[in-house]
Structure 1
Amino acid sequence: MLKTYNGMPAAELHGARWQKSRRSNSQGNCVEMAELPGGSVAMRNSRHPEGPALIYTRPEIEALILGAKDGDFDHLIGSN
């Protein structure tokens, strides 16, 4: 089994099924995520699919997603 680590090339995560948000725009400006064996989650920049992947634990991803749902990061997006 491949040892995963933060910053490893996303291309080395063979079999990862990358998913992007339905809110992604047509210019490809999005983050993609993939569940890995053992329950961790990888994240990569869709514009650089061969580039580095960040590897998170399930609790870390849960905190991120729930914080986003709660509006904790709303200040990071442009106001429309």
Structure 2
Amino acid sequence: MSQYVNGMRSDVIQAAGHWQKASVSQGAGACVELRKLNDGQVAVRNSRFPDGPALIFTVPEVEALLSGVKGGEFDHMAN
């Protein structure tokens, strides 16, 4: 069983990597940050709330999301 659970506080997640956000969001003050976890999953948090909850996703879930984003499936949400 994973030590990571959905909704756990982002600031208590211990992992080898760091929280990463898109370079185009630097200075914008609000973005989504991702962090690769030690068990291979990926945590996602809102940068405006760095100690807030994180959602935990499997690699296939993240791959599906990124594929959809790259394919423009979510472009309508930014308008």
Length-normalised TM-score, structure 2: 0.90
Shift of 1:14: 2.1
Q: Please tell me the root mean square deviation across aligned C-alpha atoms, in Å.
A: 1.4
Aligned length: 77
Poorly superposed stretches of 4+, deviation over 2 Å: none
Structure 2 alignment gaps of length 5 or more: none
Structure 1 alignment gaps of length 5 or more: none
Length-normalised TM-score, structure 1: 0.89
Shift of 1:33: 0.3
Q: Which amino acid aligns with 1:51?
A: G
Aligned counterpart, 2:5: 5
Q: Which amino acid aligns with 1:7?
A: G
Q: Which has the higher strand share?
A: 1
Rounded to whole Å, the distance in 2 between the matches of 1:23 and 1:35 is 20
| Identity among equivalent pairs (%) | 48
Q: Which has the higher helix share?
A: 2
Matches within 5 A, 1:7-46: 7-15=7-15, 16-46=17-47
